[in-house]
Amino acid sequence: MTLHISSRLMATAALGALMLAAVPATAKEKAATAPAAETTAKPEIGDFGFDLTGMDKTAQPGDDFYAYANGTWAKNTQIPADKSNYGMFTALADLSQTRTREILDVAKGDPSSMIGRAYSSYLDAAAVEAKGLAPIQPWLNKVRAVDKPGLAALLAEADRSGIQHFFGGFVGQDDKNPDVYIYTMFQGGIGMPDRDFYLKDGERNAKLQAAYLKHLENALTLAGEKDAAPRAKAIYDFEKQVATVHWDKNDSSDATKAYNKMTVAELAKAAPGFDWQAFIRGIGVNEDSILVSQPSAFTGEAKLLADAPIGVIRDALLVRSLDGFSGVLPDAVAQEAFSFYGTALSGTPQMQERWKRAVDFTTNNMGEAVGKDYVAKYFPPETKAAMDVLVKNVLAALDTRIGNLTWMQPGTKVKAKKKLANFTTKVGYPDRWKDYSKLEIRGDDLFGNQLRANQFAHDDNVSRLGGPIRRWEWGMTPMTVNAYANFGMNEIVFPAAILQPPFFDPHADAAVNYGGIGAVIGHEISHHFDDQGAKYDETGKLADWWTPADVAAFEAAGKALIAQYDAYEVLPGEKLDGTFTLGENIGDLAGLTIAYDAYKKSLGGKEAPVIDGLTGDQRFFLGWAQVWRRNYREQNLSQRITTDPHSPSIQRTWVSRNLDPWYKAYQIKQGQKLYLEPKDRVRIW
């Protein structure tokens, strides 16, 4: 559902919010009663915040709750040609994009406006075409001339310029010392999203491999290279070798396995064949201690780089360079990159219009500069005030649940409550905006703008080393339809753009709001207690603070949830990986459970009214189902099964089958497809 962050790992999903300083909200605060909506204000969706016309009442809730709540919507909704999927997240993203365009259309008329110049430079397609590859040619020539002794220095320059290569890295909190920043490295070197695309058989993978090979050939041709076909095959064969030494996604996602601190000298000894000292110093990291997420992968990659012909390495970097800057180069380059990454991989027929890409370019590189104007125009104070109440109620609900757990030891409960009480909640927007004054943006230099923005972001990230933790920073812009949990900061964050219908409407029925944004809040909170987040204590430190009995009970419940999701066949022959999606599935299960408790408490002991023939509990679960309305192109859905730690929307909706109140609300009977015996319903928090 959402993004969760540690200093070593980022895993994404979707939601959004707006502006406010970081607001500490503790579970010790009393649950507040949600403010009543004004009698004259109506919800944006339907009579009470839910779109009844999207339901399919011929479907039985107990057989397919997603179809019951969303079937007619799914049947009647077409995926736009520039989308790989379409649903509530994308609808809000489109709205955010349109609103941002209005802001930028005004700004582009002001020569003193940085965001206006950036936006204008992207819109000027004629200038981009006229320059051709001239802006990137000096870099391509550097790549063509590199030799093995100079490779480390070149890769350091590529890193600073935003070009992905054979490994990557960033400066973040040290998981075991969260008051200190450290440089973390992770495996790289493949152009497809995951090792499985190279190593697993099957008709779909075979087609993707052929399409990728063709992309490599086309990219080399666009770069002006001859004999592109055999050279493309050599790149592919090299990348397949790299894929064989990569850690798989489950090991890479394990916070404990991925925490490997070593000195640069120790890395050089463990992964000989590459000048690690030159590379790490070249990117501006002068600390001796670093974190290496997948040590054996670095050992393997260093050997492969040492053994590979320099021509293959050069060619791989030529392709990576064009792909990395494809959006700011002539249309032939952009279309080629899109043909694989957009169409072959995700099934999207056509690229977005240029104005949409111009908006994304500006917000991706100067998001908080745009965010100031967005917040002022589109984030009403009443939304923040109502959101604060919801967050307090959901936090209080989890605090109560922790106290009532039968599987957790008393001492661990004390520590869990302490962690919850130490949460920081950020809603809407940062209280301290990023300073872009050192970033040079020209109205007639799109490629240069992207290059300088990449270098600015890199230098800003590296400058964290040796300094205090920037607790005011946000990992998303106000315009982002998403939310996240940050383990090291012990915080939950909700950007402005998610705090809109169908997720949240101050004038909608409380049941729908709690089933929507309430469950999202619960999801983000519970990430701090999921299979990875639970490894971090109340200070954000990766530490063992559970007893062996707690761990055993928690893992047993996790195994049951893994088995439940392993059984879901999303496409013919393609099942979910319950281990890979475990953290997000725990987030959905816990989030919905906690939000239900918070909703019931918000009623103050009264019965919820019946609206349009629906009880409060029925509306609560419909609110949950509504936010997951989404149609996928088949290629996109298949890719997500391999690369996305979130389950698809249908299966996310089905998590309700583990909650007893859902059975009572819809009179679910034994024998129906989603029915679980009470003993088989997974209960964690």
Residue 123 confidence (pLDDT): 98
Global model pTM greater than 0.85: yes
Mean pLDDT over all residues of the chain?
93
Q: How many CA atoms lie within 13 A of 123 on its CB side?
A: 16
Q: Which fold has domain 3-30+44-99+358-434+473-680?
A: Collagenase (Catalytic Domain) (3.40.390)
For 583-622, what is each residue's pLDDT tens digit?
999 999 999 999 999 999 999 999 999 999 999 999 999 9
For 135-158, what is each residue's pLDDT tens digit?
999 999 999 999 999 999 999 999
Looking only at the bridges linking them, the beta strands covering 85-87 and 630-632 are: antiparallel
Sorted by where each begins, the domain ranges of the chain are: 3-30+44-99+358-434+473-680, 134-345
| CA distance to 24, 269, 547, 557, 564, per residue, from 550 (Å) | 28, 39, 5, 11, 22
- Rounded CA separation 419/519 (Å): 20
Place of tokens 């320099």: 310
For 266-277, what is each residue's pLDDT tens digit?
999 999 999 999
pLDDT band at 383 (very low <50, low <70, confident <90, very high): confident
Place of tokens 């001492």: 411
Residue 157 confidence (pLDDT): 98
Residue 19 confidence (pLDDT): 23
Residue 3 confidence (pLDDT): 41
Place of tokens 């050939």: 217
Can you spell out the DSSP letters for 445-507? Answer: -HHHHHHHHHHHHHHHHHTTTTS---TT--SS-TT-S--EEETTTTEEEEEGGGSSTTT--TT
Q: Decide if pLDDT at 625 tops 50.
A: yes
Residue 21 confidence (pLDDT): 24
For 37-60, what is each residue's pLDDT tens digit?
334 589 999 999 999 999 999 999
The H-or-E segment that residue 110 falls in is none
For 427-484, what is each residue's pLDDT tens digit?
999 999 999 999 999 999 999 999 999 999 999 999 999 999 999 999 999 999 999 9
Q: Decide if pLDDT at 684 tops 90.
A: yes
Where does 134-345 sit in CATH, by number?
A: 1.10.1380.10
Residue 39 confidence (pLDDT): 40
Sequence-ordered list of residues with C-beta below 8 angstroms from that of 314, at least 6 positions apart, any chain: 143, 144, 146
Sequence-ordered list of residues with C-beta below 8 angstroms from that of 170, at least 6 positions apart, any chain: 183, 184, 461
Distance, CA of 192 to chain centre: 18
